[in-house]
Structure 1
């Protein structure tokens, strides 16, 4: 049975411009530069250069409104889905980290290219070379071969039509494991360390290190040194020398080679804060960002089309709609970039105001408790906007480069009732662990007691949480010989 029903409902929707501004706000300096370059390629109505302030540059608001009324222009009526910008197709405002990761940060070759170059120096036939190249392609960024040889054998027969046994794959893998850097192509951490130790001189410390990794790797990883001393029948000094050799090895040979070869990813600060004569100055780092403006020829083209309304053909109307869409998109993009810069400056100005003492002295203990809500209340923005504006953003100061998240911390009270930052407690906790007896490291309960003696009354689970946030392992794993 069919029936009609009227329903009145309030619904809040974000406009395409708002969505674009939010996405702009999430971008870092490098990503914004890439985004602008891409928009300049995609939209011919957008170009580099200082903005032209000319009354004839674009249609006046009145002419623009008249044109829309006369021609009944609606972007959704004439654009195909392929022509609609992605910010018009997606209505959510969630983070797009997947897209962000597609932006290349370095154009240098990876360690995989280095392995392929070393492979070219080996005297292998064409089929073995293809198989070895496939094995190298399965080595992850840390330098490990996580897939089994049987799985690789199955892939080769189905994808490349090469029937190869696991024994043959093992032979080729051993050739690859002989490449630089040492440890590459290992299937796990234990094998990686053993491959590196095999290339070291046969000193007593290296030989003992190899035995420990080979025979007692689990005990070593859990720092059960007493078991190692008894089972291998060595003294503490010998064990200490062997552990020094093991800890000097690279647990991620692929990552080590990548950072050495590619030079690592450099942080480009989004803000610059200078202190001179007791005054702080804040500026956005717009070093590589070009100035943007609407293409004058496209604006003139739109005026010509709208000024000649008589005898307009279907082709001319289509051209009018296309030009207007490109001009609108260009202006939206320029406005979004400007609003991003203004929002970021407003957020950073409040952070600068709240943490002024730190920016003057660089002393971490002067950081005040500050959460997203504190900044949101002073800027008038939503908390989600503050989160976007501060996430993955960095500020350059006279004392180094810091992420904006560095300045946010929880509020706690000491014995005297004074509000302090959780970062101050973490600093005290770090100092306690740095000065502990490494032969008898402090457990969380003992750390909790030490903090109470210093006037910071916090629970043991909070101590454990702060210790984990600092990247410090439990007491047993901090123990040394």
Structure 2
């Protein structure tokens, strides 16, 4: 049985403007320009004066004032109460209400273009070397198949049998495994040395075989790679000395020779297109111990509402007849003008939020930005900044996770300034960044022949007043990408 009943609910919903602001807030500076260009393409009512090369044509929409006999204008007169307020969409020549002029950097600096190095990938280099090698048509096809099967680091991890099947089905070339192996040996003689290897051992051996075969150090290095690679990678130097009958000085020479080899020959020749260009969102300068914060001018583009679209409202206001065609056009213009105004407001709000958040972070970590000493960094969590600027934690998180600040001692992600608090024996709260810095200094100054184990590092920290468990020391060491003591050992 169907029933009807009334129910009241209190729901929290985000408006389209709020959603747009949130999306813009988490966009980094390097991607903001692309986002603005997308909006300019989608919304003709939005303009960027810096991109305009000529004056806008006048009277472009005059024909919309003409009434058409095809529509019954009398039917539209009854809806006069639903007219738009033209004053809301008109503005004079002063566009300050809709522009976001904000420039904190030198104009010459903004005009500089980032140079792009034109390099060829190691795939192209190998193909060029293959083109210059006299081969039969069949061998040339096999060579192209091998080069195309290499990974980005230069290794061939695909089984030869799989390539033989590909050659048979896609190229209609029937070959034996020995034929493919012969061409593989040829490609392994190409530059860079070690290319085309099927594992690390083969890669290192290829490089060593290109060196002086009469050099006893090279011979011993080849022996270690061939027969004792596992002991070498685990740094069991005592076992190597005993197995090879070498003293520590001789082993040190052999190990250094192996360490000079390139374990990833493809990476050294690969164009670094995968690395994202970092454009700092903020700049902090130190002027006689007074910090000054500026926002990258790319975060504050000069945008305005199209004047031609505003003139459409003027024409509509002056027109006595309100036919259906004109009404639909004005509805479209209203939607685009609203969208342009919302976008400009979102950009301005984004700019203000970025400055407000970064200013709070700068003052919270004032001593650190003055001295560049990580031991001066205070414990700081998202809630600390959110309380200072009276904003939600999620807003601070969106800023911290995607924005960078350029200082006189480097460029950093804002997220790196947030850290947990650790209590010392005196009851004082310090940042775990300070503990990590002490760990880094201890490991950096240790005797590499007898590196400090985690237990020893824990004792050192306790002597300095930091009562931290060994597992916490291990966690911090792993966060800093520092290997265990055994793998830090050197001869």
Residue 406 of structure 2 corresponds to: 396
Residue 108 of structure 2 corresponds to: none
Segment of structure 1 superposing worse, 447-456 or 226-235: 226-235
Shift of 1:382: 2.0
Segment of structure 1 superposing worse, 169-178 or 420-429: 169-178
1:206 equivalent to 2:185? Answer: no
1:273 equivalent to 2:284? Answer: yes
Q: 2:280–2:406: 8 Å Cα contact kept in structure 1?
A: yes
| TM score, norm. by length of structure 2 | 0.78
Residue 457 of structure 2 corresponds to: 447
Cα distance between partner residues in 1 of 2:266 and 2:257: 20
Q: Structure 1: any 5+ residue segments left out of the alignment? A: 53-65, 72-103
Residue 229 of structure 1 corresponds to: 241
Shift of 1:163: 5.2
Shift of 1:433: 1.5
Residue 327 of structure 1 corresponds to: 337
Residue 220 of structure 1 corresponds to: 232
> CA-to-partner distance for each residue in 1:53-75, whole Å, 9 max, x for gaps?
xxxxxxxxxxxxx999459xxxx
Residue 410 of structure 1 corresponds to: 420
Cα distance between partner residues in 2 of 1:423 and 1:355: 12
1:24-423 to 2 correspondence within 5 Å?
A: 24-49=24-49, 69-70=82-83, 108-109=118-119, 111=121, 112-124=123-135, 129=140, 132-155=143-166, 157=168, 165-202=176-213, 203-258=215-270, 266-286=277-297, 290-301=301-312, 303-304=314-315, 308=319, 310=321, 312-313=323-324, 316=326, 319-423=329-433
Alpha carbons of 1:343 and 1:289: their partners in 2 closer, same or farther (altered >3 Å)? closer
Cα distance between partner residues in 1 of 2:3 and 2:315: 50
Shift of 1:348: 0.6
Q: Structure 2: any 5+ residue segments left out of the alignment? A: 53-78, 85-113
Q: SS at the partner of 2:266?
A: helix
Alpha carbons of 1:45 and 1:416: their partners in 2 closer, same or farther (altered >3 Å)? same
Residue 437 of structure 1 corresponds to: 447
Alpha carbons of 1:268 and 1:238: their partners in 2 closer, same or farther (altered >3 Å)? same
Q: SS at the partner of 1:274?
A: strand
Q: 2:299–2:351: 8 Å Cα contact kept in structure 1?
A: no
Residue 88 of structure 1 corresponds to: none
Shift of 1:371: 1.3
RMSD value over aligned CA atoms? Answer: 3.4
Shift of 1:274: 0.9
Higher-RCO chain (CA-CA 8 Å, sequence separation at least 6): 2
Alpha carbons of 1:368 and 1:218: their partners in 2 closer, same or farther (altered >3 Å)? same
Cα distance between partner residues in 1 of 2:451 and 2:316: 79
Q: SS at the partner of 1:253?
A: coil
